C-alpha cells in the first residue's frame, strides 16, 4: 500500500467518537482530521480506507486459531481451554475476546462496519479527479465489508445487516437477518467489489496487499462453499431452536453446490494464479509461506520488518522451540501429526512396526515443511547455547546417560535452556517461520516479513473439488485433489463414495493446516463431535542405553464437545445494548 501512514494516525479516534460543543476542544489537533476535512480530500479518504484494512487482522498472532481446533495446543491458555472444552457462555467467550482474534470479535467487527458505512454515506461527495481511483476505493470497501460479514457469519450464523453509521443518540435496535439473507448479502457485496476492482495492480505502484477482483471472487467462492455445507443446511443439532432461519438455510442443495463450483471456477478462469510448484515439494510448500511474490497468493497481508511487536506477526518467536529462546506457544498435537500420510499414500499406523519405530521417516513432504519434530534440522542455536547443540536440530527425546538417569531434551519443558516455555506435545510449528531470522530478538524489531495468505489458489482448487464431490462429479473432484497432491509429491487418490469424502477432508486438513480453516471445516462438515470431542495428545520419546528409541503417546489436554459450539454465543453486553437480538441455540 502507498505510504500515507501519517494520515492514518488518529482515524480510529475520529470515527468512533462524537463531537463536543466545548470551546476549549474546538481546536484542530495535529494528529487527526475532522470529518469535513477528510471527505474533501481524496488522499485522506484513501488513508481512511487503508486504516480499514487493519480490521482484517491476520492468522499468525501469538494465539492461533488452530489451537482452538484439533491442530495444536496453546501452552499459555489465554482462554483457549474454555473453547476446546466447550465451556463458553454469553458472559465469557474465552479466547475470542482477545486481540489475537479481533477479526472474529462482534463489537470490533461492527465498529469496522460503521467505518464502512461512513465511507459509503460520504463517498459521493468527495471531489475525485479520477473516476477509476474512486471506483477502486469503492471496490476495496465493499470487499472489506463482505470479509467482515463473512467472519461474523462463520462464527454466529445470521447477523444484523447494518447499513448505516449509527450515532450514540440513535436507536440501533436491529434484528438478526436470516443466515440465507446474510450469505446473500456477502455474495452481492463480493460481486459488486469484483466489478469495481482491478485484476492486478501495476508493479512498483505501492499497492501490494490491496484487494483485487480475484480476492473478491475468492471470498464469494468460500462463502458459497459454506452455504452448501452440512451445518448450513441442517438445524437438527440445535434441539428444537425456535429460530432455525438464523443457523440454517433452505433450498436445493444441488443448486448450492453448483453455485460454489461456479464461483471457484470463476477465480481459476481469471488465469492469474497457479500453484507454487517447481517440482521440489518441500521447498515449494515452505516457500509458499515465505515468498512475497508467489503466484499462488490471491490476497495476502505483508509485514514490515522494523515494526517488530507492533505488527503482531512473530511466528518464530511465538512458536519456535524453547531451546532457541522462543516461546513454543502453538504446538502441533499428535492427532494432526498422525494424519500426515506416508509418502506412498498409505495411512500412518502406530500398529505397523515399521511406522512406530521411525514415525518421522517417509512421510508426506508437507509434514517436514509444517512441523518441527525430534531430530529435525532447524537453525543454529543462539550463541549462548550453541555449544550444547552445534548442529542446530530440535531435540525432544530424553537420553539415558546412566542406568535409570535420563537427560531431558533441550526443547522440552524439563530441558536445561528454558524450562518454562516449552511445549507439552513434543512438536513445534515449522510452517510460516523463516529460519534465516533471529527470532529470539524479533519482538524488538527485525521480525520476518513473510506474508499471511487470506486467500490462496490451493484453497480455491480444494473448494472446487469439494463442490464437485457435492455434485457427485467424482472424477473431476479427484483430478483437482490430485493437482494439490502432485505439487506435494504425493501419489494420486483413486477412491469413490465416502472414502473419497474422507480422503478429501484429510487432504484439506494437511494442505491448509494452521491457515484458519480447520476450526470452521469440522463444524460445517458436522464432524466436530469426532474431531474436537477427543483429548489432545502428544509424544514422549525416550532413548535408552539399550534398545531402540521408544515412542509413546500421552494426553496433554482434556477436550470436550458440546453442540452449542457450532456457533459462538452473542456476548451479553451486545444483547443488553440491542434487545432485538436473539441468542444462538443452547446458550
The confidence band for 8, taking pLDDT boundaries of 50, 70 and 90, is very low
Is 298 part of a structural domain of the chain?
no
Q: pLDDT tier at 310 (50, 70, 90 boundaries)?
A: confident
User: What cell numbers appear for 366 in the block?
Assistant: 508437507
52-68 confidence digits (pLDDT tens): 999 999 999 999 999 99
Q: Is it the case that residue 211 has pLDDT exceeding 90?
A: yes
pLDDT confidence bin for 205, thresholds 50/70/90? low
Q: At 177, which CATH number? A: 1.25.40.390
* Reported confidence tier of residue 21, pLDDT bands at 50, 70, 90: very low
- The greatest distance separating any two alpha carbons of the chain, rounded to the nearest whole angstrom, comes to 84
Please give the backbone phi and psi of residue 538, each rounded to the nearest 5 degrees, phi first: -130, -165
Residue 411 falls inside a structural domain: no
Residue 190 to residue 208: CA distance in whole angstroms: 20
Q: Which residue has the cell 500453484?
A: 275
Contact 193, 143 (CB under 8 A): yes
| Inside any domain, residue 431 | no
Q: Note whether residue 534 is domain-resident.
A: no
Is there a domain that residue 338 lies in? no
Instruction: Using pLDDT thresholds of 50, 70 and 90, give the confidence band for residue 447.
Output: confident
Q: Is the pLDDT score of 566 beyond 60? A: yes
Q: Is residue 579 part of a domain?
A: no
Taking alpha carbons only, the member of 427, 435, 397 closest to residue 331 is 427
Do the Cβ atoms of 38 and 45 come closer than 8 Å? yes
330 SS3 class: strand
Rounded to whole angstroms, the Cα distance separating 409 from 321 reads: 11
Closest to 521 measured CA to CA, from 101, 166, 267, 222: 222
Residue 326 three-state SS = coil
pLDDT at residue number 33: 64
Query: Domain for residue 376, yes or no?
Result: no
Cell of 461: 482448487
Are 460 and 218 contacting, i.e. CB atoms less than 8 angstroms apart? Answer: yes
Give the three cell numbers for residue 580: 432485538
| Residue 20 pLDDT | 38
521: helix, strand or coil: helix
At 415, the pLDDT band (50, 70, 90 cuts) reads very high
φ/ψ of 543, rounded to 5, equals: -115, 95
Residues 6+ apart with CB under 8 A from 382: 324, 325, 438, 440
Q: What 8-state DSSP symbol labels residue 225?
A: H
Please give the pLDDT value at position 28: 52
Asked if residue 533 is part of any domain, the answer here is no
- Write down the pLDDT at residue 558: 98
DSSP 129: S
What average pLDDT does the structure give for the chain? Answer: 93
* pTM of the full structure: 0.94
Phi–psi pair at 454, nearest 5 degrees: -75, -40
**φ, ψ at 302 (rounded to 5°):** -115, 155
Give the number of domains in the chain. Answer: 1
pLDDT for residue 424 is more than 80 = yes
Range of the structural domain that residue 108 is part of: 5-63+98-255
Amino acid at each position: 500500500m502507498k505510504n500515507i501512514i501519517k494520515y492514518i494516525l488518529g482515524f480510529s479516534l475520529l470515527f468512533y467518537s462524537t463531537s463536543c460543543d466545548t470551546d476549549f476542544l474546538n481546536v484542530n489537533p495535529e494528529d487527526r482530521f475532522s470529518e469535513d476535512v477528510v471527505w474533501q480530500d481524496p488522499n485522506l479518504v484513501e488513508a481512511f480506507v487503508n486504516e480499514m484494512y487493519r480490521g482484517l487482522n491476520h492468522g499468525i498472532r501469538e494465539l492461533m486459531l488452530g489451537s482452538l481446533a484439533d491442530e495444536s495446543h496453546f501452552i499459555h491458555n489465554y482462554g483457549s481451554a474454555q473453547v476446546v472444552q466447550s465451556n463458553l457462555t454469553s458472559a465469557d467467550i474465552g479466547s475470542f475476546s482477545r486481540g489475537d482474534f479481533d477479526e472474529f470479535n462482534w463489537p470490533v467487527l461492527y465498529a469496522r462496519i460503521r467505518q464502512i458505512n461512513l465511507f459509503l454515506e460520504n463517498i459521493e461527495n468527495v471531489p475525485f479527479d479520477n473516476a477509476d481511483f474512486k471506483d477502486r476505493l469503492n471496490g476495496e470497501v465493499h470487499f472489506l465489508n463482505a470479509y467482515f460479514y463473512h467472519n461474523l457469519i462463520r462464527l454466529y450464523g445470521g447477523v444484523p445487516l447494518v447499513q448505516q453509521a449509527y450515532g450514540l443518540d440513535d436507536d440501533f435496535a436491529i434484528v438478526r437477518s436470516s443466515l440465507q439473507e446474510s450469505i446473500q448479502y456477502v455474495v452481492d457485496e463480493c460481486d459488486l467489489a469484483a466489478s469495481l476492482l482491478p485484476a492486478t495492480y501495476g508493479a512498483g505502484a505501492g499497492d501490494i496487499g490491496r484487494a483485487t477482483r480475484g480476492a473478491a471472487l475468492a471470498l464469494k467462492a468460500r462463502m458459497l462453499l459454506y452455504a452448501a455445507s452440512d451445518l448450513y443446511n441442517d438445524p437438527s443439532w440445535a434441539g428444537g431452536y425456535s429460530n432455525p432461519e438464523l443457523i440454517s438455510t433452505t433450498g436445493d442443495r444441488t443448486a448450492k453446490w453448483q453455485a460454489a463450483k461456479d464461483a471457484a471456477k470463476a477465480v481459476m478462469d481469471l488465469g492469474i494464479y497457479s500453484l507454487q510448484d517447481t517440482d521440489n515439494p518441500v521447498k515449494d510448500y515452505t516457500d509458499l509461506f515465505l515468498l512475497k511474490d508467489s503466484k499462488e497468493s490471491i490476497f495476502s497481508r505483508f509485514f514490515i520488518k522494523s515494526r517488530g511487536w507492533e505488527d503482531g506477526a512473530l511466528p518464530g518467536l511465538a512458536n519456535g522451540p524453547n531451546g532457541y529462546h522462543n516461546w513454543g506457544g502453538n504446538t502441533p498435537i499428535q492427532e494432526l501429526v498422525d494424519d500426515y500420510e506416508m509418502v506412498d499414500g498409505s495411512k500412518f499406523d502406530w500398529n505397523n512396526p515399521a511406522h512406530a519405530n521411525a514415525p518421522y521417516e517417509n512421510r508426506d513432504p508437507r509434514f517436514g515443511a509444517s512441523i518441527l519434530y525430534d531430530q529435525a534440522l532447524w537453525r543454529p542455536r543462539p550463541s549462548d547455547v550453541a555449544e550444547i547443540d552445534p548442529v542446530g536440530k530440535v531435540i525432544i527425546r530424553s537420553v539415558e546417560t546412566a542406568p535409570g538417569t535420563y537427560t531431558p531434551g533441550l526443547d522440552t519443558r524439563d530441558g536445561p535452556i528454558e524450562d518454562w516455555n516449552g511445549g507439552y506435545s513434543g512438536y513445534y510449528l515449522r510452517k510460516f517461520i523463516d529460519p534465516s531470522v533471529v527470532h529470539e530478538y524479533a519482538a524488538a524489531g527485525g521480525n520476518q516479513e513473510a506474508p499471511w495468505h487470506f486467500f490462496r489458489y490451493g484453497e480455491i482448487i480444494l473448494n472446487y473439488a469439494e463442490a464437485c464431490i457435492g455434485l457427485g462429479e467424482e472424477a473431476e473432484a479427484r483430478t483437482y485433489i490430485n493437482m494439490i497432491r502432485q505439487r506435494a509429491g504425493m501419489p494420486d487418490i483413486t477412491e469413490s463414495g465416502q472414502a473419497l469424502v474422507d480422503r478429501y477432508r484429510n487432504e484439506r486438513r494437511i494442505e491448509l493446516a494452521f491457515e484458519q480453516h480447520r476450526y470452521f471445516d469440522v463444524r460445517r462438515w458436522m464432524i466436530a463431535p469426532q474431531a474436537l470431542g477427543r483429548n489432545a495428545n502428544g509424544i514422549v520419546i525416550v532413548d535408552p542405553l539399550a534398545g531402540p528409541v521408544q515412542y509413546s503417546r500421552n494426553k496433554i489436554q482434556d477436550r470436550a464437545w458440546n453442540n452449542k459450539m457450532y456457533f459462538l454465543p452473542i456476548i451479553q453486553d451486545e444483547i443488553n445494548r440491542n434487545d432485538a437480538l436473539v441468542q444462538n441455540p443452547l446458550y
